[in-house]
């Protein structure tokens, strides 16, 4: 019986230590979350101020890109070179079946139409400079 009680006490100690480590991680994550929320609030205020100032000067704000397009652009920025539709699918974790690749290709063509991407050769897309993530407002 003493042997079982010793095993239980050892396990209790291990679980107490694990719980303590998890509490420390939760506290750290809570601090990081609070910092991120403060930064987001500052960015929201900055964005609103910029839009107000632009409106006062009669400057039209850029059209924000829908989320699916921002992910596509992020893939190009991460790759740092030209990509084909299937490669973009792979980078985004999308199936490379023809229907998915064609959907991505259609987005790439729309981005070419907005002068955000360029089609260096048929089917090979590259970023136009400057990148829209630095010029277009997030949506």
Rounded Cα distance between 102 and 127, Å, is: 19
What span, in angstroms and rounded, lies between the C-alpha atoms of 47 and 37?
15
Using a pLDDT cut of 90, give the percent of the chain over it: 66
- Over residues 6-57, the pLDDT tens digits come to 999 999 999 999 999 999 999 999 999 999 999 999 999 998 899 899 889 9
Residue 134 scores a pLDDT above 80: no
pLDDT of residue 67: 78
Q: First vs last Cα of the chain: how many Å apart? A: 65
Structure tokens at 4: 């079982």
pLDDT at 8: 95
Tokens (6 digits) for 41? 């609030």
Which helix (H) or strand (E) covers residue 72, if one does? Answer: helix 67-79
Give the pLDDT confidence score for residue 131 in this predicted structure: 46
Q: How far apart are CA 68 and CA 107, in angstroms?
A: 9
Instruction: Over range 101-123, report the average pLDDT.
Output: 92
């Amino acid at each position: 019986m003493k042997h079982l009680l010793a095993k239980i006490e050892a396990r209790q100690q291990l679980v107490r230590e694990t719980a303590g480590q998890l509490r420390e991680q939760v506290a750290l994550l809570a601090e990081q979350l609070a910092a991120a929320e403060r930064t987001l609030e500052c960015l929201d205020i900055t964005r609103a101020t910029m839009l107000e100032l632009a409106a006062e000067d009669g400057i039209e704000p850029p059209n924000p890109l829908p989320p699916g397009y921002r992910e596509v652009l992020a893939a190009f920025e991460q790759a740092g070179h030209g990509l084909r539709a299937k490669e973009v699918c792979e980078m985004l974790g999308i199936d490379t079946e023809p229907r998915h690749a064609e959907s991505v290709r259609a987005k790439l063509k729309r981005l070419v139409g907005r002068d955000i991407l360029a089609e260096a050769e048929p089917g090979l897309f590259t970023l136009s400079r400057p990148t829209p993530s630095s010029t277009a407002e997030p949506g």
